[in-house]
Amino acid sequence: MEDWVSLYWIFIHFPKQLFSPHAPAGNPMDKDRFFHGLNLTSIAAAHGFSDGFNYVLIPVLPMIMKELDLSILQTGMIVSAAGLSLFLMQLPASIHSDFLGKRKLIFCLGLMFSSVCFFGISSVGKNYYLILALSFLAGLGNSTFHPTATALVSEGFRSRPGFFMGIFSLGGNVGSAVMPALIGTIAVSLGWRVGLRVIILPMILLLIYVYFSFPEAQADRQTVQGLLSKIWRKVCCNRPVVTLIVIYGLRGIGYRGIIIFFPLLVTSTMGADARTTGILMSVYFVLGAICKPILGALYDRFGMRLLLAMLFFVGAALSLVMHAVVSVPVMAVVMGLLGMVSFISPILMTAATTLVDRSVRSSTVGMIYTSQALHFLSPIIGGWIAQRFSLEACFTFFAAILVLGGGVSLLLQEKRMPKLDTI
């Protein structure tokens, strides 16, 4: 019941307070709750832009492919370039933030840099290699967000950690849902470059607000050698955490491949344009956003082992039937169901941050997201399979990856992870 009351506070009562001229006044406890909710909302919105950046080009990949006269493998490499930099830099960025303790500053600067790079992609004409380089640099900036912001949320919202981590994660889905639909709609009438510019510009204002309103975490005094020693002992030698890292890596490879090749699938099977593709992708992300707090609440109540395995197996089954769907309404249902089972970050991140102490939380999250960033391989492997065999074989491969993720989830021994306040 407490979770549903909290949902009421965030989605109904809090917006009323936000737009009321007397919102901060009155009971000091109400004032604290107001600003607490406002901080959560702002960092969740930043999460929306960060996650949205990962998907912003995908609905218009067929348009880019046609405009630049690219092969399916070359087109996938544009997305893969950003994924490669995420893979290379998330762990160094997370270790650096744990050492300096400047988590808010690091992720704000990173997202600002990523925004500039995406704006550059929209302005460089048909230079394929320059677009590849800017995509790589955009991923480099975006690599700072998840390790730092997740650690900030885990420290700032300790009551019902799974639920509030779900709210934070929900912001990522909202951005991932809005950006594909928005850029797809704009691209049909004004072109994909204009759509990219329209999406990027509001990021600057949000980052200014977050920097001046969200509190910075206190840094623990520690040496580089001491920090690396802690990471080795408390993360690398922590079997449950290592298992979570493997699970999230498999999740990233599987679902990233499905989403990247989804526009090409629906274009070939039902002739969908960029607007239709963007809307279908938004259905996926919206349903995922709605279910994120629910998955976090289910984790708080029931644990994670069987829940994770079930989510992986259902996702694999749905991905196997996608190639046979030729109706847009039916595909919308399939994408909605896929979204409901695919966004497991509230479960994974809450469990991981509860298994280590605060001094290495950013590094722990960085390792998990680094494993997820192995999805930079998805466009390469999937593109090769699609060219050598077929798109159907490509989706079958990614379904097999999800089945493997479900199997690894069953190796988790804990029926329930400890809560943050027990550490």
Residue 257 has pLDDT above 80, yes or no: yes
Tell the residue number behind the tokens 């329209």, with chain if given.
198
Q: What is the pLDDT of residues 134-162, one digit of tens each?
A: 989 988 888 888 777 777 776 666 555 55
Contact 209, 42 (CB under 8 A): yes
Contacts of 81 (CB under 8 A, 6+ apart): 132, 133, 135, 136, 139, 376
* pLDDT of 159: 56
Residue 183 has pLDDT above 90, yes or no: no
Which pTM does this prediction carry?
0.65
Choose between 7 and 371: higher pLDDT: 371
Residue 185 has pLDDT above 50, yes or no: yes
Q: What is the pLDDT of residues 41-70, one digit of tens each?
A: 778 888 888 888 877 787 777 788 888 888
Number of domains in the chain: 1
Helices and strands (H and E) in the chain: how many = 20, 0
Compute the average pLDDT of residues 258-274.
84
The residue count for the chain: 423
Work out the percent of the chain whose per-residue pLDDT is above 90.
11
Compute the average pLDDT of residues 192-214.
78
CA pseudo-torsion sign 270, 275, 281, 287: negative
Comparing 50-64, 156-170, 281-295, the range with the smallest average pLDDT is 156-170
Compute the average pLDDT of residues 301-326.
87
* pLDDT of 162: 56
Confidence of residue 195 (pLDDT cuts 50, 70, 90): confident
State how far the Cα of 349 lies from the Cα of 151, in Å rounded to an integer: 9
Q: What is the pLDDT of residues 83-92, one digit of tens each?
A: 788 778 777 7
Residue 1 has pLDDT above 60, yes or no: no
Contacts of 134 (CB under 8 A, 6+ apart): 117, 118, 120, 121, 124
Confidence of residue 421 (pLDDT cuts 50, 70, 90): very low
Compute the average pLDDT of residues 179-197.
79
Choose between 95 and 318: higher pLDDT: 318
State how far the Cα of 53 lies from the Cα of 90, in Å rounded to an integer: 15
* pLDDT of 398: 94
Choose between 317 and 91: higher pLDDT: 317
Compute the average pLDDT of residues 203-211.
80
Residue 72 has pLDDT above 70, yes or no: yes
Residue 108 has pLDDT above 90, yes or no: no
Work out the percent of the chain whose per-residue pLDDT is above 70.
78
* Mean residue pLDDT across the chain: 76
Q: What is the pLDDT of residues 325-380, one digit of tens each?
A: 888 889 999 999 998 998 887 788 777 777 766 666 667 777 787 787 788 788 88
CATH number at residue 70: 1.20.1250.20
Residue type, 252: G
The torsion region of residue 222 among left (phi > 0), alpha (psi -120 to 50) and beta comes to beta
Residue 271 has pLDDT above 60, yes or no: yes
* pLDDT of 254: 92
Q: Which structural domain, as residue segments, surrounds residue 193?
A: 2-422
Contacts of 221 (CB under 8 A, 6+ apart): none
Comparing 4-8, 135-139, 237-241, the range with the smallest average pLDDT is 4-8
State how far the Cα of 10 lies from the Cα of 377, in Å rounded to an integer: 37
